[in-house]
Amino acid sequence: MCKECGCGGENHKENKKVVEALTKVLDANDRQAQENREHFEEYGVYAINLMSSPGAGKTSLIEATIEALGDSVKIGVIEGDLETDLDAQRVRSKGAPAVQINTGSACHLDAFMVHNGIHQLPLKDLDLVFIENVGNLVCPASYDVGAHLNVVLLSATEGADKPEKYPVMFRHADLLVITKIDLIPYVDFPIESAIRSARKIKPGIDVIALSCKTKEGLEDWLDYLRFKVRINKRALK
Ligand code: MG
């Protein structure tokens, strides 16, 4: 699917040249990611990279967060999708600035794409930036985009064993958000098994379970964000 990260080729692992080229790409990406973090810090902005499979509710969580926090935390969004600016439009309709990045055939955002997005956001007016990555549980985990926190979403409509099936993504995450918990009575999603599966891969990972529809658990997420934004500002004083 994506030429750049090598996920589309069956023989890539055996191809030394491809591995070397990929290592160079990742080294350059890491340098740009560090520069992105410095940009955010210059303006006292806390940045969160949201990752999940398609349809887990990343955009819905961003919308619910903007609505709930209002002017108390000023939010900007960098939206990553293969095509369309539909998600950026959804975010803008909630009153927050949003930049859409279309990755074309690339199945992840990289630090260079995010850097372009950063320069189109009014960072001086913001406290928090969400980077909504392309819906994919594999490739985005390999690319540092320059965020301060990596969050992975897992919805109740997915398998509770996903953390063990996609270990790189869950190991890479600082926080697991279980979404759509209002659907748990109607689907086969043993939430305790999902948390156990995630903690097998990433011992001690924080977990927040919520529903953007009923708002159950949403306050835990908002408290978490308020805390992160507050200590980020203090650290920079
Ligand atoms: Mg989305």
How confident is the model over 22-54, as pLDDT tens digits? 787 789 999 999 999 999 999 999 999 999 999
Positive or negative torsion for Cα 120, 106, 5, 129 = positive
Distance of CA 51 from the midpoint of ligand 1 (Å)? 10
- Ion ligand 1: residues, CB within 5 A, are 58-59, 87
Distance of CA 17 from the midpoint of ligand 1 (Å)? 34
Distance of CA 19 from the midpoint of ligand 1 (Å)? 31
Mean pLDDT across the stretch 163-168? 96
Distance of CA 54 from the midpoint of ligand 1 (Å)? 7
Q: What is the mean pLDDT of the chain?
A: 93
Distance of CA 136 from the midpoint of ligand 1 (Å)? 11
Report CA 148 to chain centroid distance, whole Å. 11
How confident is the model over 197-220, as pLDDT tens digits? 999 999 999 999 999 999 999 999
- Residue 6 pLDDT exceeds 80: no
Asked whether 212 and 63 are in contact (CB, 8 A), the reply is yes
CB burial of residue 59 (10 Å; 0-12, 13-18, 19+):
buried
How confident is the model over 111-126, as pLDDT tens digits? 999 999 999 999 999 9
- Residue 73 pLDDT exceeds 90: yes
Interhelix angle 218-235/58-69, nearest 10 degrees = 70
Distance of CA 99 from the midpoint of ligand 1 (Å)? 13
Which fold, 12-235? Rossmann fold (3.40.50)
Q: In the chain, where are the structural domains located? A: 12-235
Q: CA of 17: how far to CAs of 74, 105, 114, 190, in Å? A: 45, 22, 27, 44
Mean pLDDT across the stretch 85-98? 95
- Residue 14 pLDDT exceeds 80: no
Distance of CA 59 from the midpoint of ligand 1 (Å)? 4
pLDDT at residue 235, as a whole number? 81
Distance of CA 154 from the midpoint of ligand 1 (Å)? 14
How confident is the model over 110-164, as pLDDT tens digits? 999 999 999 999 999 999 999 999 999 999 988 999 999 999 999 999 999 999 9
As a whole-number percent, the residues of the chain with pLDDT over 90 amount to 83
